[in-house]
Amino acid sequence: MEETRTTFEIPVGPVHPALKENIRFTFRVEGERILGVDVKPGFVHRGIEYMGMRRNLIQVLYLSERICGICSISHPIVLVQAVEQAAGIEVPPRAQYIRVIVSELERLHSHLLWAGVAAHELGFDTLLHLSWKVREAVMDILEELTGNRVDYAIPIYGGVRRDISPEQMPKVSEMIRYYRGLFEELSDTFLRDPSVEARTRNVGVLEPEEAHELLAVGPTARASGLRKDVRQDWPYLVYGDMDVRALTPEDHGLEVRGDVFDKIVVRLLEVAQSLDLIERCMEEMPDGEITSFPKLPALLAHLKKAEGEGIGRHEAPRGEVIHYVRLEAGQEGPSVWKVKAPTYSNLMPWVPMFEDQEIADIPIIAASIDPCMCCMDRVHVVRSGRPEEWTKQELLRRSWEKTRRLCG
């Protein structure tokens, strides 16, 4: 009998129970082994940038908050940084500290949320419920400080909208103590559990060279041993005074392997790091104004006169977020608004991560970069009612054209 080796193609998505959001994978498999993958995004494009260019800047702030429901402070923080740079607005120190506190609280809740999702993808639902139960403490603090559990509406151009009162300080300290007490327990359940280790060790490996070449960001890059963190490399707000260091599994005394287990380690280490940062900010926070524009009509008038361009960058829980804004005098909204969410950089690392893995590991590998599709989808080509595909060359040509148009 002649020996034949047949490969099959398995489509997963755009709508699939293993995925939280819409994206299409086409896996080439031989038996249970994945030979290669083709990733196709673009199903959840919402045209947010276009909507933003037709609103005034205060309205754009709340639109940017809704780019991502989980990073709902990262996007506004980047946008206000970009606009402040363009319009030359100073931010009082106290406001900068409050921005750092809220964004670290967000990292805390996002990483705990991810831990639950990862446990669920492993089929370990007990751990999912445990992590999400633990997460409620930080959600309550966010509600206490901002008035909402999600969509905090805290930053505004030139400062923040709500101060942290002396009565709220002990509640935050209590939350920090609660998590510090739980930390041993949590890392024990995740890192010393045989079933978690069996499902994640040497699964979805991303080599450091690949992570570097494919420009992975955030915990995905750090789990591969790259010390890459916007807070460390290009400090903004008050992160420069906080000596933030990018954490890799080496900081936990482990050898870097770049697998899903390492991604869990990095995220757990960052939970502890965020707790330290929040505590330090609370101690060092100076008194003073929280915004340089207490009257909003004055802010609107200032923004209408402003002219220039600005770039904001921030280390969101998933990696680096960049916003580019251009303002023109006499126009209330931005004339250009460009958003780059972290998942955009973490899509290509999926390709080497999936190679040579088993079909059963697809959900956890897909979830290991903490993907957020609708944050990332910035373009969808439709011509005469049908979707169209563009090649790399075509996209490059068009992006050059756009840059020339922007530069005038």
* Buried b or exposed e, range 130-164, using 16+ CB within 10 angstroms: bbbebbebbbebbeebbeeebebbbbbbbbbebbb
Regarding 119 and contact with another protein (CB under 8 A), the answer is no
**Is 173 an interacting residue with respect to another protein (CB under 8 A)?**
no
Per CB under 8 A, 153 contacts another protein: yes
Q: Which stretch binds another protein (CB under 8 A): 85-93, 123-131, 220-228, 351-359?
A: 123-131
Binding residues for another protein restricted to 55-114, rule: CB under 8 A: 55-56, 58-63, 65-66
**C-beta of 191 vs 351, nearer to another protein:** 191
Q: Which is nearer to another protein, 300 or 336 (CB)?
A: 300
Contact partners, residue 4, CB within 8 Å, separation at least 6? none
Q: Is 191 in the site for another protein (CB under 8 A)?
A: no
Distance of closest approach, residue 405 Cβ to another protein, in angstroms: 28
Q: Which of 139, 300, 359, 381 binds another protein (CB under 8 A)?
A: 300
Q: How far apart are CA 59 and CA 82, in angstroms?
A: 15
Nearer to another protein, 194 or 253 (CB): 194
Q: Does 144 bind another protein (CB under 8 A)?
A: yes
Q: Under rule CB under 8 A, which residues in 6-65 are in contact with another protein?
A: 55-56, 58-63, 65
Rounded to a whole number of angstroms, the minimum distance from the CB of residue 53 to another protein is 14
Question: What is the nearest approach in angstroms of another protein to the Cβ of residue 37?
Answer: 33
In angstroms, the CA 99 to CA 159 distance is: 8
Residues in contact with another protein, total (CB under 8 A)? 31
Rule CB under 8 A: is residue 185 a binding residue for another protein?
yes
Place of tokens 């009257």: 295
Residue in 125, 143, 174, 243 binding another protein, rule: CB under 8 A? 143
Of 148 and 399, nearer to another protein (C-beta) is: 148
CB atoms within 10 A of CB 82: 24
d(CA 59, CA 66): 11
Task: Work out which of 71, 83, 122, 127 binds another protein, going by CB under 8 A.
Answer: 127
Query: CA-to-CA distance for 126 and 339, rounded, in angstroms?
Result: 37
Q: Which is nearer to another protein, 29 or 153 (CB)?
A: 153
Q: What residue type is assigned to position 211 of the chain?
A: A
Dihedral (C-alpha) 204, 210, 216, 219: value to the nearest 10 degrees?
50
Q: Bridge-partner residues for 325, per DSSP? A: 310, 337
Tell me the closest approach of the beta carbon of residue 200 to another protein, in angstroms: 16
Does 380 contact another protein by CB under 8 A? no
Contacts 24+ apart (CB under 8 A), 128-133: 130/189, 131/186
Residue closer to another protein, measured from CB, 193 or 251: 193
Smallest distance, another protein to C-beta of residue 166, A: 13
Whether 88 contacts 308, CB under 8 Å: yes
Q: Which of 135, 52, 136 is nearest to 331 (CA)?
A: 52
Region binding another protein by CB under 8 A among candidate stretches 19-27, 147-155, 273-281, 346-354: 147-155
The answer to whether the peptide bond before residue 14 is cis (omega within 30 degrees of 0) is: yes
180 binds another protein, rule: CB under 8 A? no
> Rounded CA gap, 122 and 211, in Å?
24
Interaction of residue 136 with another protein, rule CB under 8 A: yes
Distances in Å between the Cα of 172 and the Cα atoms of 10, 70, 142, 214 are 48, 20, 9, 39
Question: Where along the sequence are the contacts to another protein (CB under 8 A)?
Answer: 55-56, 58-63, 65-66, 126-127, 130, 133, 136, 140, 143-144, 147-148, 151, 153, 161-162, 185, 188-189, 193, 296-297, 300
